[in-house]
Structure 1
Amino acid sequence: MEVKLIAHTQLSEDFWYELSTKNYGMAWDLTENKITNGQAVALTAIRTCYSHNKPSEILVKEANKYFYRGATDDKGGTDADRLFRHIVNSGHTSTLEHLSFTFAIEGVSRALLAQLTRHRVGFSYSVQSQRYCRFGSGDKSGGFKYVIPPSVEKNDHAYREYELAMIEIQNLYDELRFLGVPPEDARMILPNAATTNLVMTANLRALLDFYSKRRKGRGAQAEIADLAEKLREAVVAVEPWTDAFFEQA
């Protein structure tokens, strides 16, 4: 399994220009003070609900108050961190839907895909097609790839039987194609273990909900629990402030 972050929420160039040219007596700088784009967007969305300022003015007029003052709840960080904690703890997480992340997810089983696509609100999927992609031994794919569950991999006898079954399925797929069966019908014999690739986009609120249900220790199957951890790692790498919210999910 490979998970790569393709894109995530960024401030637009035009908005950056406005921030740099308007003079509101601000002393803040996003990059110098390690304020992420996600934090800037989150603050804008959250404060829009409570502020008389226009959304386009939130950062320039309120950044000093939130990003340059210590948290008033005595739990560490800035007052922006305090605000983010308050929003998550109060359940007003619709404001976090404005942060989105797009991932390349590669080499996961069709069984995982069936579980993953049960998460629909806040998620978008584009999946490799078994109808249009061919998985014969002589095709560009070189045959279908498959996932081996840990319980099978650690059992020598089960592993041998599993491998023989996958070989037999590949041979039968090849035979069906040789007999003129189109790929869209031959694919019917491919197992849940067959791998697929997809592009997935999800907002932060949806990802936190997904993680709370699929993280290790919550009864999730090993493969999707592993995916949950990789998604968390990818998000936290670009938006470190979110780590605490994954941890409490």
Structure 2
Amino acid sequence: MKKVEPQVRLVARPQVDYDAIADYLEEVGGAAWLERFDRGELDAHLNDPQNLAEFAGRLCYRSWEPGLNPNVTRVRKDQDAYLGNILASLHGSVLEHVSFSFVLHNVSRVLTHELIRHRPGVAVSQESLRFVRLTDLPFWFPDWAEDDPELMERATEMLQRMEEFQFWMAEHFGLDDEGVKFAEKKHKTSFMRRFAPEGVATGLVWTANVRTLRHTLEARTAPGAEEEIRLLFNLIGETLQKEAPALFGDYVVEDGVWVPKHRKV
């Protein structure tokens, strides 16, 4: 048994094809929007998520510049102001074009069972304990548990015995013997995982769009949320504010609770 801490790694973000956008804008008369790119106002790496959201929003109303849509006589030039208005007007469909992918490492199956309740705008690929044989039982303990010596002694002893049982079963089933077919290993490994605690740490790739992320960030850092998932989403929130401040900058963090200025976008 080894103690672990939940970890978050951002592994993928939107990448905008500016040549394709320029080709489209040339056809519809909105090429002036990309001139901001030449002036450095649209950063090709850091702000791609924000640029994509703005592009989708302006396409909806043909608001690249005044006059392209006869109903539009003025447009917001500043991206922060534009995206702030998107949030304030609850134009959340624009945000669904922007997705981020994370590796969530050393998170328990307690956490993943709660995380998969958030399904719209989400993709999940989780480590399969039907295929992956456990050789140890990584486990996260909250601070209050670690401050209880008797609890930690009993918990550690129990986890060590469960870990030993995993090794015993592998030897008993002869899984490492020469010539054992993978199908047999998979069959027995699936049985063995039933004796692993729900708190065993695992990993997954979790992808979500900004509309879902905004809702989940608020819901899973709320005071009544499970403590491990609160810890995890605090890390996710910190990452997102750095990646796309115009899309997540309206949150105020109070005692670990992420409260948005604009809710239900």
TM-score tier (shorter):
0.7 to 0.9
Which string of whole-angstrom CA distances, capped at 9 and with x for unpartnered residues, describes residues 37-62 of structure 1? 12221112112222277xxx99xxx9
**Displacement after TM superposition at 1:16 (Å):** 6.1
Q: Of 166, 169, 176, which residue of structure 2 is paired with 1:173?
A: 166
Aligned length: 224
Is the counterpart of residue 158 in structure 1 residue 166 in structure 2? no
Give the direction of change, closer, same or farther, for the CA distance of 1:31–1:202 in structure 2 (3 Å limit): farther
Is the counterpart of residue 6 in structure 1 residue 17 in structure 2? no
Report if aligned partners of 1:123, 1:202 keep a CA contact under 8 Å in 2: yes
**Displacement after TM superposition at 1:199 (Å):** 0.6
Question: Which of 1 and 2 has higher RCO (CA within 8 Å, sep 6+)?
Answer: 2
Q: Of 203, 208, 213, which residue of structure 2 is paired with 1:207?
A: 213
Report if aligned partners of 2:14, 2:100 keep a CA contact under 8 Å in 1: yes
Is the counterpart of residue 66 in structure 1 residue 72 in structure 2? no
Letter of the 1:162 counterpart: A
Letter of the 2:62 counterpart: S
Query: Please, what is the CA RMSD of the aligned residues?
Result: 2.8
For residues 13-92 of structure 1, the aligned pairs below 5 Å read 14-15=19-20, 18=23, 24=31, 27-29=35-37, 32-33=40-41, 35=43, 36-51=47-62, 65-67=75-77, 78=78, 80-92=79-91
Q: Which residue of 2 aligns with 1:109?
A: 108
| TM-score of the two chains, using structure 1 as the length reference | 0.79
**Displacement after TM superposition at 1:13 (Å):** 5.3
- Stretches of structure 2 lacking an aligned partner (at least 5 in a row): 1-5, 174-186, 253-259
Give the direction of change, closer, same or farther, for the CA distance of 1:65–1:89 in structure 2 (3 Å limit): closer
In percent, how many aligned pairs have the same letter? Answer: 25
Report if aligned partners of 2:140, 2:201 keep a CA contact under 8 Å in 1: yes
**Displacement after TM superposition at 1:33 (Å):** 2.4
SS at match of 1:174: helix
Q: Which residue of 2 aligns with 1:122?
A: 121
SS at match of 1:11: coil
Letter of the 1:218 counterpart: P
Which string of whole-angstrom CA distances, capped at 9 and with x for unpartnered residues, describes residues 188-245 of structure 1? 0100110101111100000000011011x43112211111111112222221212323
For residues 183-222 of structure 1, the aligned pairs below 5 Å read 183-215=189-221, 217-222=222-227
Query: Quick one: distance in 2 between partners of 1:213 and 1:84?
Result: 22
Give the direction of change, closer, same or farther, for the CA distance of 1:20–1:205 in structure 2 (3 Å limit): closer
Report if aligned partners of 2:84, 2:246 keep a CA contact under 8 Å in 1: no
Q: Which residue of 2 aligns with 1:72?
A: none
